Structure 1
Amino acid sequence: MSTSLKEMEFQLELLRVQESLPADELQDMVFLCSDLIAAKDLSAVSSGTELFPLLEKRDLLSEEDPSLLLELLRIMKHNSLIRNLHSDAFTQTDFSTFPQRISPYRQLLYEVSESICDQDLKNIKFLLIKTLPRKKLEKEMTLLQLFLEMEKEDLLGEDNLDVLQEIIAKIHPGLEKRIVQYKRESSGEMVIAQETGINSSMSYTPAPPSPLTSEDTMEDQVDRLSLTGASEISGDQSQHVAFSSNLSSTENQEIQTYEMKGDWRGVCLIINNCDFSGCDLGNREGTDIDKASLEGVFQWLGFEVVVEQNCDHKRMLQVLRDLAARDHTPADCVVCCVLSHGRVDGIVGVDGKTVTFREMMETLSPYQCSSLFQKPKLFFIQACRGTKQQRAVFPQTFPEDEDTPVSDAAVPRDSIPEAADYLLATSTVPDCVSYRETGKGTWFIQSLCHNLQLLVPRGTDLLSILTQVNNDVSQKTDRSGSKKQMPQPEFTLTKRVVFPPPKTRPPLQ
């Protein structure tokens, strides 16, 4: 295709975006760009056909680098629109190589605005009536426009969020935690001070992670994360005493439980990869047995089950982004089950290419899906985490007619993002294989389904159920007694997960 035709194709895609966005969302886009272009230049912008040429003129948008537009659409959760952009500029570009241009501060304000209803906006204006000119407050303006007015009056800024925090605390206390977390992250505070030898009187409130700018940043964050909550206490005697006094104030408090009151428990996404004929990996015979078991159990638990078959690496990420694009406000939680091969650096799609744990799980982060904020995000992964076999200590034998277990490949030594309310339950520990019987399914998934059916009606919490799964799977072995497997849950849950007992009978296995 000639250069001129490519340029025209790119402009047609920009026109498609312009026509797909209502006027208020175009103004949201203008707000997100307000750190990139002078306010006087943006003040007259009322449409995409005015904004996009302005971005192009400032070398912020081009056919060679359309990443800013993709970043804006992703922040605004227009995943389906992104999917329908077909020009070479979008389909043949690796956007992970481009820098993030929209500041965490702008994204924070946009996130706040998306959580505020019309009545909340009226209340915010009322609280500002003695601070901002009444004439401006009486105008019909969005919350983002109000934020711009506050910035002009020096009442709001990247390092000046006190007024906003005070107002939001009165209007929407849940959002105040998000602002507090942003302030901590932007100031570089260490919220695990008692364990690092730094004195701190601040308590830690779990909140969504800040946007990541590099792989190293995530590595640093994961290194600081105690996934199971079991951390060693080190340091001098004064630190030990301070920590003990904090324990004494909470030792009599009951562990809280996530709210599970809705008729609709949420979505359970099952990604079932069986056919690997398109690459050099073997087909995963028996995985459909696991899929059927998971479907039956999670439907019984009150979930809307969505099944995706034989996904390549791009499709796996896309179905997760589609899940994040849904409104989960009425849901109690979200579940994602992945049945596939694996390698050291990630879950394998049917094309033989990998998706890391982080890539998968960050698609459901509160930044990508605000309606899942403070709701449990539960991942169950059936795949190996390496190629080593665990030694059998107390081997058992199968009858002679039992299927011989086979292993899937290997999954990463990779951990969940530093954010609250995640559970990552994997079928095996790092570096080791997990097993699948072609006639019965995998040890891990079958034990998980069995114990959910058995223990949920008794009111048992999910982590206790997974402990029983660990026990069951650890006792399994092959005919020779040489193959063993040990599942591993990792979590940043802040409360207990207890599913309400279903009113119907559990599905038969």
Structure 2
Amino acid sequence: MLRVDAEQHQQEYFFDKIRTINLEVILDIQKDIDPHDMISLVFLLYKVPDTALQRLIVFQRVSKDVSYNNINLLYDWALNVQTSPTWRYEFLEALTICRLYHVIRKLGFSISHVKDRYLPGNLNVSIYVNPIKKALYKLCENINANNLLRLKKTLLTYDIDTSEYEACELIILQLMCQKFITLSESKIEKTLSNNKCEVEKLIMIVENISELKKIALELREIQNKINNESSLPAPHINGTPVMSTSAADPKTKLVDKIEESFIDLCHLHAEDISGVTLKSDTKLAKDAYPIKNTNRIGICCIINQEEFYPSKESIEGNIQTYALENRLGSTKDQLALEHTMSSLNFKIRSCCNVNHKDMFKFIKCVILNDVCPEDSIFVLCILSHGIRGHVYAADSVKVKVEDIQNLLDSDEASNLHGIPKVLILQACQVDEQNAHSRLVADGPLPNYFLRKSDFLIYWATAPEYEAYRDEQKGSIFIQTLCSMIAKKARHEHLYDIFTKVTDLVSGICSKLKCAQVPIFESTLRKKLYMQIPQL
């Protein structure tokens, strides 16, 4: 009986306090709310997205000024909803969702009672605030700076420019204004307008950002619930093949072995290649490609795809079936390649994180503007994720290696005709349908072999295998390759060097119990040296 009386008293106290919330209180309270939380409250409370967005754009510009609270965003909202009998409850629920407990306490409410009433952590419970907005607020709260940048890049592929917005809430409002997503504000409005909640396009983007997959699932469930549809399971999304060292992963014990392997690779650099003096009268035999100028061997073009984001083409075209993780450690590979190749008198041209169209533009630009008649070799290195016969661009669109090869052999690249072209590809070659298969392959598909002449393509791993990368030191393949080229380039031709690299990488990966076997394929007609060999 005492418990019932206490609960009744608590309810009466709650309603008494609700009635004390008026315009003067709102005017005073908004002074205690910081800019970040103010943006969240406007997002949750304003019914018209265009109004909310325009007010917040101005607010974003002036919020760093000490007098920003004079904009009166909450006061103006409260002034316009005075006729609604539930506006005070909606305001309190929004404060609770944003966990502004210092404000709630100042209003005189019991924090525990308010939390029990509105359940801010439960996305399936929403009384006055739009339930999908509550879920979208959670998205905004959980998105970090890197993923916010990914989202902006992805939206650009839909011709939606949100680059000026600092907060995720403004981006969501922009999507609402452009009808990229639509929200039903209430069950009554939904019944009258026959509108459905449509946030599937945004969900498809979010689920391609690995850290936000759970929120994407929750958004889809709430959308289906609002639309009176049965909850459909989200599509299965495979993880990106990277070397994991988490505690739950059986490869945890690899950490020490990886350290040991990279220490072993360092010994390959013991030879001081910069101090070697070439003999000017040394000549290459007729069974080798000529080196025209020892001071400039050729061009080394490096494309380092380290950061990825989903794009309209990758999402709507089902080009990419799982979220691509950022390739931490890939910069180490880029630097190793740049150092190694420049020490051998190659001119270096590098780019990072380019979409599939810009990949080809970059290669064309290098061919047209940087390749000289005196160049003896053209080297193209691509560091990325991959599947069999393809590499991924930064916009998660897969690019056929054959298309890259065709470009290098096209009329546009006539200045490369007749000189050897080396493609070095640090990427996996697992099957698209089974991105995590570790089955040993008998060999490439019959139509996989090169048909062009003067090409040498070196993959980090054979078909159906993965290529492993340490997130701090770089990939096993590229680091081994750079070490062996630095040690052997002045004595041996590339075919023999690549053979030694394959042996070393296979041995290291066998020790680490990782399935990776590099493979190279050649239509070279002669031996290919990167330097005139010393006698």
Scaled by the length of structure 1, the TM-score of the pair is 0.43
Structure with max Cα Rg: 2
Scaled by the length of structure 2, the TM-score of the pair is 0.41
